[in-house]
Structure 1
């Protein structure tokens, strides 16, 4: 397998089978060092399986992979110390305090800068002096994030990292990701919520039933995504506005959207032809115009159609066979 020094993660034809079920069907990935890469898909699409293969928690049925230039199976504990991992299903020892638990993880992960743990705890707002069993789900998730970040690993592998976090803490987490990237660290995170990934990732892969169905930069997705528009014109221009919208390329779903004193409103959807749209409606007597932010969620859901639930159920059956036995 050809690899380059710029790749933190490289996979070729990665396959994982659980008996008769195939969770991954030939995944090819190249994640550059120093980047934030997001993997999107419904629960059970194969995101967790992919991450566990990278950490040698699972072994591939076929294909090849390199993580930080090494084969996970041969890299062993030394390679894993260069990685920070947050599992999607976080299980913590509950009879100890948060600080004691993190001290234990530090012995496994390697050197942690003095003060790094306390600084992360302050940022995330978690009391490390409390027993883990007394913490809420969100605070346990914060402990998990601290153990992943605290040794400043070359690669962060984060499976559904904001699960249970309130919006303010999510913002702080996003800031931590930007700082990690600025420091040259690589981040590979998964989510079934696109809005979470698009705030931080430069590039994403969309996973469906164990296959990558789309790989693109977030910027390119935005350019291609559908926008919802609402156009309000003077009543005298209503017929001309309707004719203009119906004739424009990339405009669909034109429909009346109410009226007011001397005005008529239309709603529609618009693809990437924004420039042509703006120039065309500029010739009308426009009272108001609203062009919403590109709805990337709709675009991603279009890849799944009516199979979204089926995808999740099929993947859950396959991935679930390993969850109890997975090691951190």
Structure 2
């Protein structure tokens, strides 16, 4: 049965439970709508949500104190005689805050895969998951139950491309993901960072974005700039980070290029000398550059060289 059908079935059970006066208490054959002690219900091990908003839970708890828990939980029998929550963890947490001892619950013996998918669907449909939480939940269900992206998409009623795009977000390192969430950035910010090839670059550009309060467009422009700079620097290595040997070869090529240039300059000076001009060339080598000076007299050979004021400038 697809997850959406399960949730529709739960709504029907809720209405039937109201008509029947709420059902019995205890395990009662482990089927249908019952009233169950909160202490007998354990949380869902497949719960995809990591963070629960405390203020939202407090509001829900106050509502439950006023009018009770109107929508039953979905649980399944546990091997130790208790129950395991399948759907409704926010309501379960809020009921505990409200001080309830018993809650209405629909009991169904579900396999692990159904329990995991139902927990995911409930969070997707009823209260938005964070995009990293959603991606991690997809990955967990796929790996835990050996599903393909296509199979999970069919269970959730989504496109396979939606699943694939979410899973790509998990390529970002955990520390980068945590910073994105803490800064309140969007999924589009995260996608922009995915284009950067290394974790170090992703973190560095992310910190710039957070410090500057960048929009998605501004971040995308910065990513383009970084990629262009790397493409220019790594042109000789096909755009890949240079190895030690490649960096050494690049240095040798640069030295060779400078020597070719200097030889060309010397040849030009020699040509002037052969033409009768006493040209002079001086070269000084420094750590980061080569300085070349060329002196060519303005007047006849051996004559005075005049500056702008007509003064001798020998």
TM-score (norm 2): 0.25
Structure of greater relative contact order (alpha carbons < 8 Å, 6+ residues apart): 1
TM-score (norm 1): 0.25
Q: More strand by proportion, 1 or 2?
A: 1
